[in-house]
Amino acid sequence: MRRLFLLLALSLGAALAQARNEGGREYCVAFYNLENLFDTVHDVGKNDLEFLPTGSYRWTAQKYEAKLRNMAKVLSSLGRERVEQGPAFIGVAEVENARVLTDLLAQPALRGQYESVHYEGPDKRGIDCALLFDPKQFEVETSQLVLSRPYEGDTLHPTRGFLIVTGRMAGRRVAVVVNHWPSRGAGSPVRVHAARQVRALTDSLMRADRRLRLVVMGDLNDDPMDESLQVLGACKYEEEVCGGKFYNPWWAVLEDEGRGTLLYRGKWNLFDQIVLSKGWLRKRRGLRYAGCQIFAPDYLFQHEGKYAGSPLRTHGGRTWLNGYSDHLPTVVYLKR
């Protein structure tokens, strides 16, 4: 009998220790605009002629391989100083097709960890959004690309479709919507129109499952305080989040700290946002928001010349810089 009690005590102690360890585990999710991740092959029906060996960028196999290595270096580093296993999922923008995703995930820095969700979209240049996910951390259940309705007949600035992926993460049902809203070449109403569509999608998802945890991420081509984000319902402070609204930690990062993800004419913007539904703010159970980060190691910046201090791009004009992207990645941390 004494031996039985001892075995039970040891088992209970081990279970409590495991619960404490799991209770303190952190996760992270991320977003990165890869800036023109094109291969060297023409896709019929797409305006990708600049990114061919004969195109204006002289986009050769050597340059393409260098771009893949650079992107893999960044993606494999996101969140690692705080979360050893890296992001559970990473939303990406400006990938040309499934082929470039296969080539990217075959890079040594990423090989064997991530899989991808991607649908070929209607963008005229051929650039799409995708989701990279670690199946050990995020189990994908469903996915779909919802095509955007054009704004009052505007065919020049279409939104690239809304990629919706649902799955399970740390025992919770999670849905992520990956976006790439129209550029600043279009007026604000075009992005407001995109925001209304995303809000309708997230409202529908929440009606179907009130316990669903929602993440909306992407290159929104607007700052956190702009009209489109207010239409989406993304709030600066946690206590403002109610109903179908979202918490947007990047508002304080840009407005109060002056930090952003892309530099234009000497001014920082923060277009690359990850916003969270109310469920991520609950303190009692499950995963909770635990912080955010603009990933900004020294190697992602130019250090000399006219654009010193800016993110180091793949090209400056038509000159190949062997850089990374004109955007910096963003990371959100979650703690159980």
Host domain of residue 309: 25-335
Query: What residue has token string 């065919």?
Result: 155
Does residue 90 lie in a domain region?
A: yes
Per-residue pLDDT band at 154 (split at 50, 70, 90): confident
Residue 70 above 90 pLDDT?
Answer: yes
Confidence of residue 152 (pLDDT cuts 50, 70, 90): confident
The confidence band for 1, taking pLDDT boundaries of 50, 70 and 90, is: very low
* Of 230, 226, 232, the residue nearest 214 (C-alpha): 232
pLDDT tens column, 39-56: 999 999 999 999 999 999
**Given a cut of 50, is residue 6 above it in pLDDT?**
no
The band of 16, judged by pLDDT with boundaries at 50, 70 and 90, is very low
Q: What is the mean pLDDT of residues 84-89?
A: 98
Residue 257, domain member (yes or no): yes
DSSP character at residue 59 = -
Tokens of 153: 């007949």
Whole-angstrom Cα distance, residue 144 to residue 149? Answer: 16
Residue 156: half-sphere exposure toward Cβ, Cα within 13 Å: 6
Count of domains in the chain?
1
Strand order of the β-sheet with 138-146 is 138-146, 162-169, 172-180, 213-219, 272-277, 246-247, 234-235
The predicted structure's pLDDT at residue 11: 44
Amino acid in the structure at residue 272: D
Return the pLDDT at 199: 98
Q: What is the pLDDT of residue 280?
A: 96
Give the pLDDT of residue 243. Answer: 87
Residue 86 lies in a domain: yes
Q: Is residue 96 part of a domain?
A: yes
pLDDT tens-place string over residues 183-238: 998 999 999 999 999 999 999 999 999 999 999 999 999 999 999 999 999 999 99
Kindly state whether residue 20 falls inside one of the protein's structural domains: no
Do the strands 213-219 and 272-277 form a parallel or antiparallel pair, or are they unpaired?
antiparallel
Structure tokens at 34: 């890869």
For 172, phi and psi rounded to 5 degrees? Answer: -110, 145
> 4 pLDDT exceeds 70?
no
Which pLDDT band, with edges at 50, 70 and 90, does 252 fall under? very high
Residue 173 has pLDDT above 90, yes or no: yes
* Residue 286's CATH number: 3.60.10.10
pTM, two decimals, is 0.92
Q: Is the pLDDT of residue 72 over 70?
A: yes
Q: For residue 183, tell me if it sits in a domain.
A: yes
- Which segments within 71-212 are labelled E, that is strand? 89-95, 115-118, 128-133, 138-146, 162-169, 172-180
